[in-house]
Amino acid sequence: MSLETLVEEIRRQGEADLAALTSGRDAEVAKIAADRDRQIEEARTEISHATEVEIAHERAQRVAAAKLQARKLLYEAREQRLEGALDETRTLLQEYTRSAQYPAVLRRMMAAAAESLGKQLRISGRSEDASLLAKVAGKGFDPTPQPILGGLIAETPDGERRLNLSFDELLRLREDRVRELLA
């Protein structure tokens, strides 16, 4: 073998090794690029999915907030209507105190108080009802005026037991039922 043949053989071997290395490098570069592209696509898909989930969550929150606001407005409107109706009821009760039936109602209240608390009572009411209550209660009348719409307040002489038959208290005790009827 001559030197030229040997050099030629080494060159061919070097070129073959270089081609193999270049081919391996190109394959590795292609593999890395494909892996990079796959990771980028996975990241895009994940981000897209996360964004959709976040948008759906935000939309659900906004819808829930809007529903809550609507319920609040509806509740406030209903409450305003009920307060108006209760105020109108209070006005009607005040007007009733000027009716011809009111003295009979006070007498029935006095009888109910006497039945519940006993005969010895201290009776008080509105200043407008003082003369009528003095007739009904006799010496048990307490002239101290009470800030009530009408009716009376009865107490035992020692003050241990009290029966509030004022229109205010009767309306307050039945307010839930009145609200139910007006709703």
- The two tokens of residue 55 are 């948008």
**Do residue 112 and residue 90 come from a single domain?**
no
Beta bridge partners of 89: none
User: Residues near 38 by Cβ (< 8 Å), separated by ≥ 6?
Assistant: none
> Per residue in 39-67, pLDDT tens?
999 989 999 999 999 999 999 999 999 99
Pull the structure tokens for residue 174: 């039945």
Average pLDDT over residues 159-169: 92
> What is the token pair recorded at 76?
């406030």
Q: Are 148 and 93 in contact (CB under 8 A)?
A: no
Separation between Cα atoms, residue 49 and residue 37, nearest integer Å? 18
Q: Is pLDDT at 87 greater than 70 in this prediction?
A: yes
Same-domain pairing of 43 and 116: no
Q: How many domains does the chain have?
A: 2
| % of the chain at pLDDT higher than 90 | 52
CATH code where residue 171 lies: 3.30.2320.30
Identify the domain containing residue 89 by its residue range. Answer: 1-96
Torsion 96-98-99-104 (CA) sign? positive
Tokens of 39: 């990771």
pTM: 0.60
Considering only CA atoms, give the Rg of the chain: 47
Averaged over 27-50, what is the pLDDT?
Answer: 90
pLDDT at 1: 62
Last residue of a domain, one of 61, 96, 131: 96
Do 50 and 21 belong to one domain?
A: yes
| Interatomic CA distance for residues 45 and 25, integer angstroms | 30
List, for residues 117-148, the tens digit of each pLDDT value. 988 899 999 999 999 999 988 888 999 999 99
Q: Are residues 130 and 175 in the same domain?
A: yes
- Same domain for 88 and 158? no
